[in-house]
Chain A
C-alpha cells in the first residue's frame, strides 16, 4: 500500500508541499459499491487538524437534541477504527499532519472523507502561512466539501446526505451575457448624488452595513414618492409614524440631513 509516511515532499519556491495519499483503484470501486447501496447508518470520526473550535462546536450542535443527526443514522464515534466517514476540520497545521494521517490510516476502507469549514476546504484565512500545509485535500483525497465559517448544523446534515449519496449535489450555473444597450439602472436617479451618499453614510454609522442599507432604501423611496404633499411635511409624517423609537431616531437623523440640504 502507498504509505503516506514515506512519500517525499515536493518543493515549490518557498513552500514544501506534502504528498497527497492516493487510493488504490480497488478501494475506489468498493466505495462506489458502498455508496450505491448504503442501507445502514454511517459512523463519523472527527479529526481536528487545526480548527479554531467554531466548526467543532457546530458539529456538537448537529448531534445534540435540536438538530439530532442521529435520527438519520449519523453517529459520531470515538475511534477512527469504527468510522465510515472521516470529518476533517481546520487548516492542516505542521504539527497535526501526522496525527491526521494516522487517523486516516486507522479508518477501514472504503472510507469517505469530508472536509469541513472554510479552513478545512482551502486553508481559509490561514492559507499559505508558514505553519499550515493548507486544506484537507493537500494531504488526503476529499470526497465532499462542506463550506462555511462555520457551516450551520443544517448545512452539516445536508453535507452528510451528499457524502452518503442520499442527495445529489445542488449545482446551479447561470451565465449572463450582456445584451446590446443593456446597462445597470442608477438607483434613485432623481435624488442628487451627493445627498444620497451623505444619507447612505449616515445610515451606516447609525445602523450598520446591512440594516443601514435597508433603512436608507426605505427612506429614499419616501423621498422619491410622487405625492401631493410637500417634502418636509411628508418626511415629518414618515418619521412620526414609526412605531420603533430607534428607527424613528435614525430616520430623524436622515431627515435632518435632507432638511439641511434643502435649506442650505
Chain B
C-alpha cells in the first residue's frame, strides 16, 4: 500500500502519538490516503484514544467488533475516530483481544462516547470490556440466552431461534436523581411515528429530573444476514432497508466502504448522481421533521402543510428513481439509473416549486409566536456533553459544532460543488430546527448545482475484482448526521464482517442530558428535535413513587397537554 504515500493525510497525528506514547503503535496500515488503521497494545488503548479524541480533535464514529480467529487467532475491536482538526482523516484504532481471556480494557471511562459501541461488542461477541461502567445489555432482547453471541463465527446458525423463556422485560433503567421522583414510562408502541422504543422519565412534579431508555426493539440481525446469506451487491439493497427514511445514505456508505477497500474508482457521473439522490433524501426527511416540530408544538395546520409540500419531494424521488423511496439505486461501482435530459428538466422544475413553497411555509412557521415560545431554550444540548458523546448531524450542528461529513470527509459528488456546513449556537430545539431549515435550502441549491456540473460518461464501472479480507470505512452525511459503515470482504463472495452504524445511534446517548431540567410537556418536542428514526408516545403510565399508585394517561391526553400546557393529567 505504498502507492499513495505522498497524498497521505493524517500522518502528523501518528507522529505526535509516537512522541507521547512511544511503544503504543504496533502496526500501521493505510486503506486510502485519508484512512489509516493502527494496531495498538491493549495497555495503551485508553491513552491513545484519549489523546486522539481530546488533544487532536477526534470524534468517535463507531466501535466495531470482529471475530478474526479464523484469520489470525484473535478477536479484534476497532475504534473509528473521525479526525476533524487541521488534517481531516479517519484513524481506526485496532486492539487485539485474546481468544483465551476474551477481555480488553474499556475506553468508556476516559472517552464516554464509546459506551454504546462497547456494550454492543459485549452483546454480539461475548467479549468483556473491563471497567465499562454500564453492565446492561444493549442490542439483544432481554430473554436472549447469555452464552449465545450471534456474530461469533462459530456461535450459531443464523436461523437459530431459541424459544423465549419469559415474556416480561427485565431491563433495568438508571435514575441518577438525588430526590424522590415519579416514573413516566413511554412506549414501546406509540402513534406519531416510526420505530418502537421505551422511555422512562423520572419526574418531580412537572420537571424531568432524569431519563433513561431501552432501544433495539427492532433488532433484526442485519449484520448477520449480510454475512450469512448475501453477496456483495445484495447487501446494497439490504443497506437500503436499514432505515426507511435515510436508507439511500446507508446504501452509499456501504458501497463506498467496499469500494474503498478494493480501490474501486466510481465514475464521476455516478458520484454526482449519488449526491443528487442523497440531497433528495435529505429534503423529504427534513421536511418531515419540520412538520413534526409543528405537530408537537400544537401547530397542526403547519404539520399538514409541511406534509403537503413534502409530497413534492416524493415526486422528485419518483422522477429520479422511479419509486417514492430512493431504494435499489446503488451497485458496488456506481448507480443503476442515469438522469436523462427530460428528468433533469423535471427535477429543476420541482426544485423551483419546492423552494417557493418552503420559503412561504418557513416564514409562517418562524412568525408564529407560540412556536418560538415552545422551542427557544428547550432541550439544551450542552457543548461539553456534545463534545464528550460525539453526536452527529443537525444535533451537534445546533450546539455550535460545524461537523458535516460532506465537508469534513468529502465523498460522492460533493467535492465538485461549493458547500459550507451550517451551525447554530443556541444548543436548543430552535437551533436544530434552524439548521434543518437552512439545509433544506442548501439541498435545493446542491441539486441544481450538481445537475449543472455532472460530467458525461459512464455511471457504473464493472472493471474490478473482489479480493479477500480487505477492509475499509465508508461514510455519508445522512439527514440525521454521519452514517458510517465498516466492511471486510470475505473469501466466499460474501462479506466477512459488515458493521453499519446509523446516525441516530450516536445521538441517543445525549438525549438523557437534553431531557433533564425540562418539563414533561416538552418531552415530545425534545425527542422530536433529535429527529430520531422514532418519535414520542402512544401511552403514558404514571407511577407515583410516593403514593404507590399507578394511573394510565391516554396518549391523546398527553399530547393535548404537550400542546396546551394546562390542566396537567398528572395532578
Binding between chains A and B: yes
Tell me if A180 counts as interface (CB < 8 A to partner B). no
Tell me if A157 counts as interface (CB < 8 A to partner B). no
Q: Is the CB of B224 within 8 A of A129?
A: yes
Flag A149-165 by CB within 8 Å of B: 1 or 0 each.
11010000000000000
With A78-B191, A96-B218 known to touch, is A128 a contact of B241 (CB < 8 Å)? no
Q: Return chain A residues, CB-CB under 8 Å to B244.
A: 51-57, 150
Q: How many residues of A contact B (CB 8 A)?
A: 67
Q: Is the CB of A208 within 8 A of B459?
A: yes
Q: Is the CB of A65 within 8 A of B308?
A: yes
Q: How far is the CB of B522 from chain A (nearest CB, A)?
A: 19
Q: Return chain A residues, CB-CB under 8 Å to B150.
A: 130-131
Tell me if A244 counts as interface (CB < 8 A to partner B). yes
Q: How many residues of B contact A (CB 8 A)?
A: 76
State the CA gap A79–B218 with chains docked (Å).
21
Q: Is the CB of B337 within 8 A of A50?
A: no
With A65-B307, A91-B220 known to touch, is A208 a contact of B460 (CB < 8 Å)? yes
Q: Return chain A residues, CB-CB under 8 Å to B216.
A: 95
A94 CB contact (under 8 Å) in B144, B314, B462, B554: B144
Pick the interface stretch among B152-160, B377-385, B441-449.
B152-160
Q: Is the CB of B160 within 8 A of A98?
A: no
Q: Is the CB of A54 within 8 A of B220?
A: no
Query: Which one of B144, B193, B338, B554 has the greatest number of beta carbons of chain A within 10 Å?
Result: B338
Tell me if A66 counts as interface (CB < 8 A to partner B). yes
Pick the interface stretch among A9-17, A23-31, A228-236.
A9-17
With A64-B308, A205-B460, A208-B335 known to touch, is A129 a contact of B243 (CB < 8 Å)? no
Pick the interface stretch among B55-63, B76-84, B322-330.
B322-330
Q: Return chain B residues, CB-CB under 8 Å to A152.
A: 324
Q: Return chain B residues, CB-CB under 8 Å to A46.
A: 191
Q: Name the residue of chain B whose CB is nearest to the CB of A129.
A: B221
A79 CB contact (under 8 Å) in B195, B224, B243, B538: B538
B341 CB contact (under 8 Å) in A45, A131, A205, A247: A247
Query: Which one of A57, A149, A209 has the greatest number of beta carbons of chain B within 10 Å?
Result: A57
Q: Name the residue of chain B whose CB is nearest to the CB of A207.
A: B338
A209 CB contact (under 8 Å) in B195, B325, B337: B337
The DSSP consensus for interface residues of chain A is mixed
Pick the interface stretch among B97-105, B161-169, B481-489.
B161-169
Tell me if A246 counts as interface (CB < 8 A to partner B). yes
Flag B418-462 by CB within 8 Å of A: 1 or 0 each.
000000000000000000000000000000000000001111111
Flag B123-154 by CB within 8 Å of A: 1 or 0 each.
00000000000000000111110000010000
State the CA gap A64–B243 with chains docked (Å).
21
With A94-B141, A129-B225 known to touch, is A244 a contact of B340 (CB < 8 Å)? yes
Q: Is the CB of B341 within 8 A of A9?
A: no
Q: How far is the CB of B203 from chain A (nearest CB, A)?
A: 21
Flag B165-205 by CB within 8 Å of A: 1 or 0 each.
00101000000000000000000110101111000000000
Q: What 4 pairs between A and B have smallest CB-CB spacing?
A: A54-B244, A244-B341, A53-B244, A16-B163
13 new A-B contacts at CB < 8 Å, known A78-B191, A133-B161: A5-B167, A15-B161, A16-B163, A48-B195, A53-B195, A57-B193, A79-B554, A130-B159, A149-B327, A208-B337, A209-B337, A211-B340, A246-B456
